[in-house]
């Protein structure tokens, strides 16, 4: 199922994050994360963006009725996947997470250029 770009941007605004993992000696790696209790939605986003990243089941805090719900995380970290994420969001930029994306973009450019 191919999802519309506006859907993916909106979903990311509410359920995603652009961040940077920092390692010793100044190394950095940008990553893109999406979270949801519906794994199928994450699978559709992964297919639409043509990502090759894993979707993990992760722990989630207890909900209001005190039952654990399964939660899933799409985690794009490879160079190939991050290039695809970057390309997509350059064409369809986030609105709410503009600042977060701009930071991600700076580190992406440093990472990809090896600076």
pLDDT in tens, 83-111: 999 999 999 999 999 999 999 999 998 88
Q: What's the whole-number average pLDDT of the chain?
A: 89
Domain spans, the chain: 5-113
- State mean pLDDT over 29-37: 94
Is 5-113 a CATH 3.10.28.10 domain?
yes
Ramachandran sector of residue 10 (left: φ over 0; alpha: ψ -120 to 50; beta: rest): alpha
pLDDT confidence band for 113 (50 / 70 / 90): confident
pLDDT at 104: 95
């Amino acid at each position: 199922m191919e999802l519309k770009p506006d859907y993916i941007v909106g979903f990311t605004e509410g359920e995603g994050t652009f961040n940077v993992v920092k390692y010793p000696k100044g190394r950095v790696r940008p990553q893109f994360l999406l979270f949801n209790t519906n794994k199928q939605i994450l699978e559709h986003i992964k297919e639409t963006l043509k990502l090759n990243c894993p979707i993990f089941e992760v722990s989630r805090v207890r909900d209001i009725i005190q039952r654990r719900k399964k939660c899933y995380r799409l985690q794009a970290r490879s160079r190939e996947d991050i290039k695809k994420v970057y390309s997509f969001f350059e064409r369809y930029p986030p609105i709410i997470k503009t600042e977060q994306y701009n930071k991600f973009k700076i580190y992406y450019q440093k990472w990809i250029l090896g600076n």
